[in-house]
Structure 1
Amino acid sequence: MSDECHLCLLGLIALSSLLTGSSGVDDAHVFISSGENVRLSCNNALHDCKSTTWIYNNIFRHSETVELITLGIKKEDTERHERLSLGSDCSLNINNISKDYYGSYSCQQWTGENGHKLRPDGHVYLHVLHVSSSQTEISAGRSVTLFCQLYSSAGVSCDDWIRSEGIELFWVNQAGVKLTRSDSRYQISAPGHCISSLNTTLLNEDHNREWRCNVTQRDQVKTSVTYTVKSSGEKTSSLISFRPSYCQ
């Protein structure tokens, strides 16, 4: 191949990189259940964190980005600063995640407050799974509805993103068998791809019974929330435990 062709090929590769937004830093997707702690990796970090800035953005909830960490120092004027910390590897640690924390987190490297950006941004998309119950105290013979919702913001609506990425949200019993609408005991509805509700009437033998809401991507479980019924006298109280898993 001639030198001219080599130059042409290199030019096409560079142009393709610009058009596709390729920066050498891969975007990360983290799935977590509400109530858990999470660590967001900064995959463009330098040897120390004095140049590291973390910003948060959610196009569906905020019109502007929020600066959480500036040049290695935590901002004290943000509503969530008490839950944040910066790891020794410049990762962003968030304690006791709530559903409101979903969105896009970007790790940036700057020379100073008025300096220049040293590297392309590293983006982490945080997806939060949250389960709630229609009642806090329930008893045998009464019905209960569980709501499972995936809060996600990857630049598009959650429904659009789920369809394109092979994400599925569904309920399973304690044996791990997927619950379907054909089971007469359960009424399962899904008004959207990112939310599913499970309604059932509790039986006396439901003490310690578990139902779990799973999120999978191409059949791999990303995170789940387990709802366990605990009996206490004539009443049962609903307890929710969390079993997160991560995808980066």
Structure 2
Amino acid sequence: MADKCHLCLLGLIFLSSLLTGLSGVDDAHVFISSGEDVRLPCNNALPGCKYTTWNYERFRDSAAVELVAGGRKKTDIEKHERLSLESDCSLNIKSVTKEDCGSYICQQWTGPKGQQKQQGTNAHVYLNVLHVSSSEISAGRSVTLYCQLYSYPQVSFNDLICSGGIELFWVNQAGDKLKNSDSRYQISAPGHCIFTLNTTIQNEDENREWRCEVTHRNKVQTSTTYTGKSSVIEIIVKFAVFAVFAAPTVILLQIICDRRAENKEKP
């Protein structure tokens, strides 16, 4: 038990150093919500970025994918259209997805081709993506909203994040934190860095917003909002019901109008 506590403590110290920059000037943590654009800084950049390389690792033991080489982005990778390199060698990613989370490594190389040498150390940027999804939603029915922070690596590192001064929680439109003490909401944490909000959607909830926030030491890092809307299926059903009841009325009015027209035509 003591060994486990000691290991956990070391993990928390490591995480804290990453978040505060004490583990080295080259490390950084970036938090972003899915769908937004993000800029990943390169803290060991050389002027011109001619020898800049960006590599990406989804998991700790996965093979690194080269995104940028020699200051130019690779065109044979799936997300190359969403990537761009700035003049300070930082990497831009448009419309971030939860699959973009992971470790991004900026390197600088100099020298002739085939004899290049790395200049300085690796600049690590850990991208954490906040993503919200939901079960099918319709008025008068229970709905579950899922808020999850995707990190690197996905399992063990999430454990450290959830216990390292970082919090996930749901707030209402007024910014008040939602709690289980409110009989309308049931909040739980069923897995690694995932918080769920269960509630029953009412008619007055149309366009109501619920927001999931990520904070580090009480400072909001990023947030994402879910807006309550009737499902497409529900709208179709309502329209169909309306049509069923409205059709006889329309037909009756048409008959009355036709008979009046006939009576006017009679001498």
Question: Normalized against structure 1, the TM-score is what?
Answer: 0.79
Q: Determine which structure has greater relative contact order: mean sequence separation of CA pairs < 8 Å that are 6+ residues apart, divided by chain length.
A: 1
Shift of 1:188: 1.2
Over 3 Å counting, the alpha-carbon distance change for 1:233 and 1:116 in structure 2 is closer
SS in 2 for 1:123: strand
How far is the alpha carbon of 1:84 from its aligned partner? 0.8
Aligned equivalent of 1:246: none
Shift of 1:192: 2.9
Structure 1 residues 177 and 24: alpha-carbon distance in aligned structure 2, compared to 1, 3 A threshold: closer
The aligned residue for residue 78 of structure 1 is 77
Count of aligned pairs: 211
Secondary structure, aligned partner of 1:68: strand
What 5-or-longer segments of structure 2 have no aligned partner? 1-21, 236-267
Q: 1:232 to 1:188 in 2, by over 3 A?
A: closer
What does 1:208-223 correspond to in 2, within 5 Å?
208-223=207-222
Structure 2 match to 1:182 = 181
SS of 1:117's partner is strand
Paired position in structure 1 for 2:130: 129
- Which runs of 5 or more residues in structure 1 are unaligned? 1-21, 237-248
Letter in 2 for 1:49: C
CA distance in 1, matches of 2:153, 2:194: 17
Stretch moving more, 95-104 or 80-89: 80-89
Which residue identity does 1:222 align to in structure 2?
Q
SS at match of 1:157: helix
The alignment-based identity, stated in percent, is 65
List 4+ stretches of structure 1 deviating above 3 A.
Answer: 230-236
1:168·1:216 contact (CA, 8 Å) conserved in 2?
Answer: yes
Letter in 2 for 1:130: H
Against the structure 1 CA distance between its residues 147 and 190, is the aligned structure 2 distance closer, same or farther, given a 3 Å change threshold?
same
Work out which of the two has the higher radius of gyration on C-alpha atoms and give 1 or 2: 2
How far did 1:23 drift? 8.4
Deviations 1:184-235 (A, max 9, x none): 1111110135001111111111122111101000110000011112469994
For the residues of structure 2 that align with 1:188 and 1:216, how far apart are their CA atoms? 17
C-alpha contact (below 8 Å) 1:36/1:97 kept by paired residues:
yes
State the Cα deviation string for residues 104-156 of structure 1 (Å, max 9, x = none).
10110001553100111111110000000112xx3321121110000011694
Deviation at 1:24, TM superposition (A): 5.5
Within 5 Å, give how 1:1-248 maps onto structure 2: 25-59=25-59, 63-112=62-111, 113-114=113-114, 115-135=116-136, 138-153=137-152, 156-163=156-163, 165-230=164-229, 235=234
> Which one is further off, 33-42 or 183-192?
183-192
Question: TM-score normalised to the size of structure 2?
Answer: 0.73
- Corresponding residue SS for 2:29: strand
Could you tell me how far apart the structure 2 residues matched to 1:100 and 1:195 are? 16
Deviation for aligned residue 1:88: 1.5
Amino acid at match of 2:86: G
Asked whether the 8 Å contact 1:25–1:120 carries over to 2, the reply is no
Deviates more, 1:154-163 or 1:183-192: 154-163
- When the two chains are superposed, the root-mean-square deviation of aligned CA atoms in Å is 2.2
Q: Output the CA distance in 1 between the equivalents of 2:165 and 2:89.
A: 31
